[in-house]
Amino acid sequence: MADIAQDIPVAAQAPPPRTTGMLGWLKANLFDGVTSTILTVACAALLAIAIPPVVRWALLDAIWHAPNGQACRGAGACWAFIGEKFRFILFGFFPVAETWRPVVVVGIFLLMIAAACNRRMWGRRLGILWLVGLMVVFALMRGGFAGMSRVETAMWSGLPLTLILAVVGMLLGFPLGVLLALGRRSKLPAVRAICVGYIELIRGVPLITLLFMASLMLPLFLPAGVTVDKLVRAQVAFVMFAGAYLAEVVRGGLQAIPKGQTEAADALGLSYVQRTWLIVLPQALSLVIPPLVNTFIGIFKDTALVIIISLFDLLTTAQTALADVNWQGFYVEAYVFVGVIYWSFCFFMSRYSQLLEREFNRGKRR
């Protein structure tokens, strides 16, 4: 019996073949059984058919420099078109001599977004930063002081316009959404009914009808002689739209707060406003930050719809660039360029929201 208990050194055996290393990975992930092998071969065949023509079109056969559209027609893409229209697609009708202004504006927006993504910045400081940032943005766009020429809102176009519509829509829509969500959860039936009616009405109709309404009917709604800037009208539609969608997100957070929290606040003798502002909202809002980011992505993508009321956002400037008689027919190039810009913003934000979600769920993860 004693020898059995003894430690007898045994030489370590190699792991079974084809379970580790490169071969093992291939076996487990690409050739695990008949079905998997067939799928792998089919996908590889599909890629082999699809990728070479795309690479040839976009890179090998592409024309990078050309004086005009005629000289740019070939088997491949015409990136010279983008080179030619680059400034117009990004900044539209903004005076060419002052292009630095919209460039700085886009830079400020990127900085503000970067600051908002840094969790150590969250809090009052961030709010002040955004307020100051937006004021600088408007001052730079509008000009009319310190030697900068005055630029009317009709000339604001391209990427800065898209960013302004999305960011202002979100910032002003957010308080509206919180109020609507609180109203929808209110114990007062009249308040609740009006809030539910507003939210369902706005969410039930396409954004495009709201934009039509803002551009065609807002002038009818206002007293005679009062005119509202076209950009402001579109912005109002975005705020109304964002408010209704954000209200549903915030409501999700309000519903997740256990009843004990409000009861405890009542027991402390807090008023409704104190209870909501100090106890309920801080908890509810921090729960819904990831879906708020997703809503923002949706609003950012939806700004493309302003083409329908002929505001010159990023997509409209691209369409306008396509109408140039000297450079006709480069649809795919223009849409790919604009698509990459939209995609980078949305992809970055959706990754950030996924990261937040993972971090917030760290305690719940097994």
Partner 1 sequence: MTAAEQGAPAIMPPRPPPWRNPAVRGVIYQIVFVLAVLAVVAFFVNNTLVNLNRRNIATGFGFLSREAGFDIGEKLIPYTPADTYARAFLVGLTNTLHVAILGIVFATVLGTLMGLARLSSNWLVRKLAQVYVETFRNIPLLLQLFFWWGLLNKMAPGPRQAWQILPGVFVSNRGVAYPVPVGSPAYKWVVLAFVAGIALTVVARRWGIRRQAATGQPFRAEWVGLGLIVGLPVIAFFLAGAPLALDVPALQGFNFSGGSTMSPEFAALLIGLVVYTGTFIAEIVRAGILAVSWGQSEAAMALGLRSGQRMRLVVLPQALRVIIPPMTSQYLNLTKNSSLAVAIGFPDLVSVANTTLNQTGQALEGIAMIMAVYLFISLSIALAMNLYNRAVALVER
Nearer to partner 1, 45 or 132 (CB): 45
Q: How far is the CB of 329 from partner 1 (least distance, A)?
A: 7
Residue 24 in 3-state DSSP?
helix
Q: Please tell me whether residue 313 adopts helix, strand or coil conformation.
A: strand
Give the span between the Cα atoms of 239 and 233, in whole angstroms. 10
- Nearest residue (CB) to partner 1, 120 versus 364: 364
265-293 core/surface letters (b: 16 or more CB in 10 A; e: else) = beeeebeeeebbeebbbeebbebbbbbbb
| Nearest distance in Å: CB 347, partner 1 | 5
What is the Cα–Cα distance from 243 to 252, expressed in whole angstroms?
14
Q: Smaller CB distance to partner 1: residue 142 or 230?
A: 230
Q: In which element (H, E) is residue 104 found?
A: helix 100-117
Q: Please state the closest distance from residue 11 (CB atom) to partner 1, in A.
A: 34
Q: Decide whether 144 or 329 has the Cβ nearer to partner 1.
A: 329
Pick the closer one to partner 1 by CB: 33 or 123: 33
Binding site for partner 1 (CB under 8 A): 28-30, 32, 36, 39-40, 43-44, 47, 187-191, 194, 200-201, 203-209, 212-213, 216-217, 219-224, 297, 301-305, 307-308, 315, 319, 329, 331-332, 335, 338-339, 342-343, 346-347, 350
Sign of CA pseudo-dihedral 280, 282, 287, 292: positive
Rg (CA), the chain: 28
User: Would you say 333 and 64 are in contact if contact means Cβ atoms under 8 Å apart?
Assistant: no
How many CB atoms neighbour CB 164 within 10 A?
A: 22
CB closer to partner 1 out of 32 and 61: 32
The least distance separating partner 1 from the CB of residue 212, rounded to whole angstroms, comes to: 6
Q: Cβ 123 to partner 1, closest distance in Å?
A: 29
CB of 315 to partner 1, least distance (A): 6
Q: Coil, helix or strand for 226? A: coil
- Pair of tokens at residue 268: 């402390």
User: Residue 343 Cβ, how far from partner 1 at the closest point, in Å?
Assistant: 5
Question: Residue 217 Cβ, how far from partner 1 at the closest point, in Å?
Answer: 6
Could you tell me where the beta strands, DSSP code E, fall in 93-220? none
Residue 265 contacts residue 275 (beta carbons within 8 Å): yes
Q: Which lies closer to partner 1 via its Cβ, residue 41 or residue 131?
A: 41
Where is 182: in which H helix or E strand? helix 159-184
Overall size of the chain counted in residues: 366
Q: Which is nearer to partner 1, 130 or 352 (CB)?
A: 352
Cβ atoms of residues 309 and 211 within 8 Å: yes
Amino acid letter for position 113: I
Query: What's the min distance (Å) between Cβ of 59 and partner 1?
Result: 18
Side-chain-side CA neighbours of residue 156 (13 Å): 23
39 vs 114 by CB, closer to partner 1: 39
Based on the number of CB atoms within 10 Å of its own CB, is 101 exposed (0-12), middle (13-18) or buried (19 or more)? buried
Chain centre to alpha carbon of residue 181: 22
